[in-house]
């Protein structure tokens, strides 16, 4: 929503003492009526499907390992060519590392939005940087960057685009809520109890 509605730009405008002097720079899109393509249809993808559907978006997905999808399961190429918003929410595996490169990124529609809440390594960041240099129309929101586990995320070639206000970058905060951490702790405790052969107990 922040990328579609250009919240980052709006916040910067107010911080720099402007109100609606540059209104065209803050003019965003509504999710209703847009096509959202989900790369990955696991736990997070299914949740995104519910959220986007509630806003009136058309949702499609790409997941070669899920056969029971309640949404059309398209090729990765079709997802990128036809979606107004592409949300990357797959797991990082040997197969998905570097999955999204230049050819897919170049095929994004005019004014398309690309969101990555997966892992930075799923997208080839040098390719995305090259495409962004040629496609200022693209709207990009990244909650992850390559190298964050090793602490080398500050070397990302995408950070200059963040500094210029062209893309939005957040420090992997999608699950950083008290609620989600409580749920994760409960899940971990249930797994531990199950491993130890203890009976299920509501926590």
Catalytic residues: 119, 148, 172
CA distance 117 to 159: 16
CA distance 37 to 5: 18
Q: 137 near 114, Cβ under 8 Å?
A: no
Which residues in the chain belong to E strands, given as ranges?
Answer: 35-39, 58-62, 85-88, 113-116, 139-142, 167-169
Q: 129 near 153, Cβ under 8 Å?
A: no
């Amino acid at each position: 929503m922040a990328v579609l509605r250009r919240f980052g730009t709006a916040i910067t405008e107010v911080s720099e003492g402007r109100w609606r002097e540059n209104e065209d720079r803050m003019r965003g899109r509504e999710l209703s009526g847009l096509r959202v393509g989900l790369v990955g249809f696991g736990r997070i993808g299914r949740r995104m499907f519910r959220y986007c559907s509630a806003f009136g978006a058309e949702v499609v997905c790409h997941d070669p390992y899920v056969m029971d999808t309640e949404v059309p399961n398209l090729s990765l190429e079709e997802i990128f060519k036809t979606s107004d918003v592409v949300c990357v929410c797959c797991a990082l595996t040997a197969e998905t590392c570097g999955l999204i490169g230049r050819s897919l990124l170049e095929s994004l529609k005019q004014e398309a939005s690309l969101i990555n809440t997966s892992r930075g390594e799923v997208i080839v960041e040098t390719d995305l940087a090259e495409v962004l240099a040629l496609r200022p129309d693209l709207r990009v929101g990244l909650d992850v960057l390559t190298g964050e586990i090793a602490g080398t995320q500050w070397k990302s070639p995408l950070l200059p685009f963040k500094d210029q206000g062209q893309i939005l970058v957040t420090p992997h905060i999608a699950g950083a809520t008290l609620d989600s951490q409580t749920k994760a702790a409960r899940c971990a405790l249930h797994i531990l109890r199950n491993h130890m052969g203890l009976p299920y107990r509501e926590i």
